[in-house]
A and B are shown apart, each in its own frame.
Chain A
Amino acid sequence: MKGFKVLNPGIHSLLQDMGRFGYHSLGITSGGAFDQYSFGWANQLCHNLDNAGCIEILVGGLILEAQVTTQIAITGADVPIKINDSTVESWCTHNIQAGDTIAFGYATAGCRAYLAVAGGIQAPLIFNSLSTVVRESLGGLTKLGTPLEKGDVLSCSSNSHCTERSVPAKYHCEFNTDTAEIRMVTGYQYEQFSQQQISQFFATDYVISSNSDRMGYRLEGPAIEVPSCEMLSEGISLGAVQLPANGMPIILLCDRQTIGGYPKLGSVFSQDIAKLAQMMPGKKLRFKPFSIEQAQRVLQESTSK
């Protein structure tokens, strides 16, 4: 089948959808688009189903050649994009002709861009998802967890051109220039930490370590004394903030292991996981406590808009 041919996969480009659910008890993680906000807009622009397959482009460098006539949309990080010789905008759709070349430069703000195609990118599903999880060797074009490679062809249907659409600027990602505020729903072993440990945690400006990826973000800052609670391994939710014995928090993300035995203070609010997805190592963040009532109210409000 025809679609888009990968001329250059760039730094690390992955096929992703909303993720893999219903198989955590086998040890299979969720995977899925890291910045679900930008991913969601890319599919919406193309009038796709919410779960349609997209490309998650880390930093940039991806070059595609179109073999079909269709529409695409690009959202997420600020990345210079060229279609043939013209520079084009992101957060909007573009009509594409067979033979066109789409080339990404490198992100100037944020770090993950999403490319959706009208009708979605087709790939074999494994455990009901095409999401690529390199660590588990699952998903993607090969079903074996491989990132995009030169010569790959991403199957897409042909679609007639239509009026171009764009996302109003007020809904574009905002990229923090200073310390990002990350809301964390308090939970898990939170009550077992002392007042002093908790105050220190919320007062610290943490730096995202270079040893961070889709599995987890390691944070650097003054070590927190970890309560000596005996722990049995238990299920880990998306965004869980765990404190291993060295007292440096790790935020567990889309490709996390499904169970683990370190004490956890709670889990990052999903709207702020999208923010984390756009933060490179070296960026700073500070946690803010968020109650389950607040979190679920905000979720309800943002979908009823």
Chain B
Amino acid sequence: MSVLWILLLPMLGMILPLLSAKKSRTTIAWLTALPPALALAILLQQIPSVFAGAVPAFEAQWVPLLGLSISLHLDGLAFLFCLLILGIGLLIILYARYYLSAQDNMAVFYTYLLFFMTAMLGVVLSSNLLQLWLFWELTSISSFLLISFWSHKTEARKGARMALSVTGAGGLALLGALLLIAHVCGSYDLHTVLKQGDLLRSSEWYPAIITLFLLGAFTKSAQFPFQFWLPHAMAAPTPVSAYLHSATMVKAGVFLLARFYPALSGTDAWFVAVSLTGMTTMLVGAYTALFKHDLKGLLAYSTVSHLGLITLLLGLGSNLAAVAAVFHIINHAVFKASLFMAAGIIDHESGTRDMRKLNGMWKYMPFTATLAMVAAASMAGVPLLNGFLSKEMLFAETLHQETLGALSWWIPLLSTAGGALAVAYSLRFMHDVFFNGEPVDLPRIPHEPPRYMRVPVEVLVVLCLLVGIFPQFMVGDLLATSSQAVIGTELPSYSLAVWHGFNIPLLMSTIAILGGVILYINRRHLFYFQGQFIEHDAKLIFEGAVQWLVRRAEIVNDWIDNGSLQRYMFLLLLLALAVSAGPLFELKDTVGTHAQLPINWVVGFCAALLVAGTFITIWWIHRRLVALVALSVVGLITSIAFAYFSAPDLALTQLSVEVVTILLFLLALFFLPQKSPVIDSSFTVIVRDFGIAALFGSVIGTICYALMTRPLDTISGYFLEHSKPGGGGTNVVNVILVDFRGFDTLGEITVLGIAALGIYKLLVGMRVFMPSTDGNGRRWSSDSHPLLLALVSQSLLPLALLVSAFIFIRGHNMPGGGFIAGLITAIALIQQYVAHGVVWMKERLPINCLHLIGLGLLIAFLSGLGSWLFGHNYLTTWFDHYHWPLVGEFELASAMIFDFGVYLTVIGAILLILTDLGKLTTSERQSEGER
């Protein structure tokens, strides 16, 4: 439980600064420091048990299916890191209180800081792989927020984005690695995994695992070639750099290496990949650091190089090296944090970080200078300081390497070189800044910082000394337990002491120090040499790369999607053709066993007519009126076909829909261009289009033929059987529409209604260009409402209404029904509009089409609902037969109410569409802006 609190306290603490945002800066700082302090207390409380080898843990289910659970454990390694994160974190909080200026939003800063702290604690405490990854990603996110804290600065934004991109990519790789590990080991539990090292190493996935895993670790701890993001993260406020790049963020990578050391290390692949990367990083980092004029830049690269050193140690694969690595993790955290803070103080008090301006700080801030120099000495590995001890262990380790065979002596040699470089840049840090003449036009006169701003540095520097002088006493147990956790097996024998007598490591240290001094003294030549190369700004390169990627993507995207409907349609049809043609090649015999009807000349003639009409339509498509006439012929034949093949309802519907459609077309044609270019696209395109069209047509035709000539057993028998007894109607089609599948019909009229709404929206505020002549330049007739038409239509109206009523009533038993009746009524009314004009009609027929639609839908809807009263399902119908005198036997069915709803909706929709369209030509058009 206590383990949980270590994580929980900082997490909950995140709100404190926000709540106290209005309070004084000191109060905020104190409130912020409270939760981590408590957490630290709890942690220290655990010391006895942890050092005794116990592992306090917490376990809770979260997503079992995924294997993700909330499981924390506090083993040696976790303990060590928690100590660093919380301890140094607290110092940073204190430091930041004085570093941040009044303009900076301190509350937000502290919130981010605690967020980051929580994420780091989560990483080190996790004993579930996925949970570990979760917190790992959180560190990337929170560090992004911290680095971009001064978001008004370009370099802050770019640096933060770069850090996020690189570490984010690493995070994805790591996720892959962890999933694979869990796949091999069959568990997401860390302890289970760590026990199955041999299984992992021998599995076929091992290469993939180790690649992805190392990608994740190396990007995080800025190993070569991913080191470039780290220096640019220095755009962050110094407290952030001091925290992220000493104890936490970048250490997460090496933590990961240490964490999975038992499971993954011990193969040649591991040795080569890890130790060589570490070696390279160490040298490159140290070398680059030497040439940095920016104080923080120098420290950043030295961080890179030290991380390389730790990686190298973990790569060497011997347990003693692992111990050394852990030891150096501690030491580096301590001295590097203090150095960053010192640099921050200098920057804060003198206003610059440029070492070409900063000189002779000694006389302005002697106290800070001393602290900084002690820390720097430790960084250089000077005896009696902690840095020296771990570096010696490294040297000692490099001596027993055989993996490179005869060339194994390279390793100690290169390590010494790295040591020398470290000494050199440390010297530069000390000498250049604090001595070396007078400062050059500083923004302001530097002086010692406020008392409490220096406290954190003092604490850490004292630690450097104490550890350096009494290592065993100071960190003996800590090192033992944490290394124990890393290695897994029993500890190798080692002694923490300043003096091991005269031996090769000591010699190497001496060489390193002397070499460093010599290097620094002759730095002019080095700088001159380095000056020949133009320096590349990783930021620019990275941004450039992203830009390049984006541009390429744009080009490709525009190439694929050229905004032409023709292409989209072509691809759609091409795919449809491809998929539907495929199976037909397999189809053995097209003609099935079903008996075919004999053909007669009437049918033949109609078919010929249809084909002719179709061809006229496409041939004269550019003469749009002609095309329309031909189109209507085709429609007519279609309805005849329906009538002939015993589908009277279909025939009637098709016919009446045909009329309305053509009416619409004519009206629309009046507003659309009357002609289109005879040839609108190149010959090849036309051939291509016609080709695919013909292919698809033939496919459909073939399928149709194959279907019709095959026997089929269907569910339709049921409908014929139950239409009369169950649905109360003899016209099975109509019964299906209003009863068996009444739900479809409800949906269908809904579609009609919505279409009317959409069209209404389209027409509002539409500006149309009304031609005064038709396509061939003939003027439109000046008489818009001819008298003859008016008379005829008026006399026709009652008849039409009567017919529609008749069709409606008989619908249930004979061909007909609400839809057809509605169409007929609508057409009759439209005719009146045509004959007399909108204004005339409006006076005589004051109905609102919208309301009509709504009413129709409502009636249909409610007719279905009625059945609920009788405890039946929606749309359950009811019917009965009555006998009235005179009228005689007749039937009432709830389905008829439904049908009436259909009737109204159809009238409303069609009137709305056609009259609104017609209104466009008159004063009745709706005003704009209400769409």
Say whether A and B bind each other: no
Interface on A for B, CB 8 Å cutoff?
none
